[in-house]
Amino acid sequence: HMLSKVGMWDFDIFLFDRLTNGNSLVTLLCHLFNTHGLIHHFKLDMVTLHRFLVMVQEDYHSQNPYHNAVHAADVTQAMHCYLKEPKLASFLTPLDIMLGLLAAAAHDVDHPGVNQPFLIKTNHHLANLYQVREPNLEPDTVWSIALGPVLKPESCPWRNPCFRVLEVQR
């Protein structure tokens, strides 16, 4: 009964989390992948999908009062609401939907619950791991680290025009 309301903005994620015994993210994503036809479209193995989703859920810190798996489930449910908006839904491919849901689900994985300056000042291992000494990385640095190697000009014909637009706007 509760999952029939998953497309409503007033969905009670805290009640859902209690009803799923703390497995709201996994349960929600399995349901949404099925609802959107992603399991069939991508021929996903349910056991493998479930294991992956459990890993994502477990990589959230339950003791974190905000950036936890319930928050991830809440953001994922909101993403589902956005993705089903008629003006947007007609333009989305199954890959767009899957990536949107997964991005929402994993957006705060392993978040320690503190901000970057705190991590730097306390010499936290995450600050050392990412070797970040400035409050914000330059957009070019973020782009090159995250997407640069993947999106070579020869493999993405739209990449060069996008870079030209970004360079003009800077």
Q: Which residues are catalytic, by number?
A: 67
Q: Is 71 annotated for ligand binding?
A: yes
Return the amino acid letter for 26. V
Q: Quick one: tokens of 115?
A: 């901000």
Residue 108 · residue 72 · CB < 8 Å: yes
pLDDT of 113 > 50? The answer is yes
pLDDT in tens, 51-101: 999 999 998 888 888 989 999 999 999 999 999 999 999 999 999 999 999
Top mean pLDDT of 49-53, 73-77, 106-110, 162-166 is at 73-77
The reply to whether the predicted model has a pTM over 0.85 is no
Q: Is 110 annotated for ligand binding?
A: no
DSSP string, 105-154: HHTTTT--SS-HHHHHHTT-HHHHHHT--SSS--HHHHHHHHTTTTS-TT
Q: Quick one: tokens of 26?
A: 């996994």
